[in-house]
Amino acid sequence: MGNPPKNSIESKKLKVTKLYLSVKDLAIFAEETTPDYKDFLQPTLEINRAFDHLNRASSVEQGIKEPEEPEAYIQDSLNKAIGHLYRAFFDVADWLSINLRESIIKEFSGFSHECIQAVIPEYYTEIVPTIEKVSKKIAVLRNDKDVVAPDADRQMDSYEEILKGLHEKITNVRAKKGGLIECEKRLERGKVKELIIKILLVLLGAIAGVFGTLLIT
């Protein structure tokens, strides 16, 4: 069975179904990786609006509603449904990128730059810059309320792959947290040792000064 013509009603119905499944897949991933996602309502609102437009199109096809230009009405309703599902996807993607960024920064904020650089060198060179870059790109697309980017489908696949890859990297980074803790302990011991040496040097200097004074007198 071949694909329906690109701008036909059937092709747009197929598009709605594929987009919905993509949104659902990413939303499930978000629920599994970010516990607070259940409180994020915007994607659900966009999905509800998409299904509202889908049912408007269906009402014409079922003969329940009879607009003056049935085909144009169905096309318009399906286009609006597609737009809402695109926004739902990028809302979820945006949530994930922000959450990943905030969670990783918060989790490692208590560690020194020196230890992070030593134990997880890719933290500054790969993970944080990639999250920032993806966050900005997703936000631009999500905020475009009028048109859908011609390459939105490709970007959806790309962002989903990047976000899941980032989550895997962050999971691997978190596994190195024990090394960070040990590094901080070594640094702290080194600081204590350095402080003790400084105190001893001050005391020795003071003692030497006292003896020097006694010898002179």
Say whether both 168 and 188 belong to one domain. Answer: no
Per-residue model confidence (pLDDT) at position 146: 46
Whether residues 39 and 141 share a domain: the answer is yes
CB 58 within 8 A of CB 113: no
For residue 1, being part of any structural domain is answered with: no
* Same domain (yes/no): 195, 171: no
Position 133 in a domain: yes
Range of the domain at 212: 181-217
User: Structural domain tally of the chain?
Assistant: 2
Which pLDDT score, from 0 to 100, does residue 47 have?
95
- Please check whether residues 171 and 193 belong to one and the same domain: no
Does residue 3 sit within a domain? no
Residues 113 and 213 in one domain: no
Question: 94 near 142, Cβ under 8 Å?
Answer: yes
In this predicted structure, what is the pLDDT of residue 176? 82
Q: Is residue 93 part of a domain?
A: yes
Tens of pLDDT, residue by residue, the chain (217 residues): 456 666 688 999 999 999 999 999 999 988 888 777 778 889 999 999 999 999 999 999 998 988 889 999 999 999 999 999 999 998 898 888 888 878 888 878 888 888 888 888 888 888 888 878 877 777 776 665 444 666 778 878 888 888 888 888 788 888 888 888 888 887 777 665 666 666 666 666 666 665 666 556 5
Which residue from 209, 167, 214, 206 is spatially nearest to 30, judged by alpha carbons?
167
Q: Are residues 137 and 68 part of one domain?
A: yes
Closest of 128, 133, 139 to residue 170, by C-alpha: 128
| Claim to verify: residue 166 and residue 188 sit in the same structural domain | no
139 and 53 within one domain: yes
Q: Is residue 147 part of a domain?
A: yes
Residue 45 covered by a domain: yes
pLDDT given for residue 21 in this prediction? 94
Q: Are residues 98 and 204 in the same domain?
A: no
Q: Determine the pLDDT at residue 1.
A: 45
Looking at residue 209, its pLDDT comes to: 64
Say yes or no: 190 and 83 in one domain.
no
Specify if 24 maps to a domain.
Answer: yes
Residues 114 and 213 in one domain: no
- pLDDT of 20 reads 94
Q: What pLDDT score does 80 carry? A: 94
Same domain, 66 and 168: yes
pTM equals 0.73
pLDDT, position 193 = 62
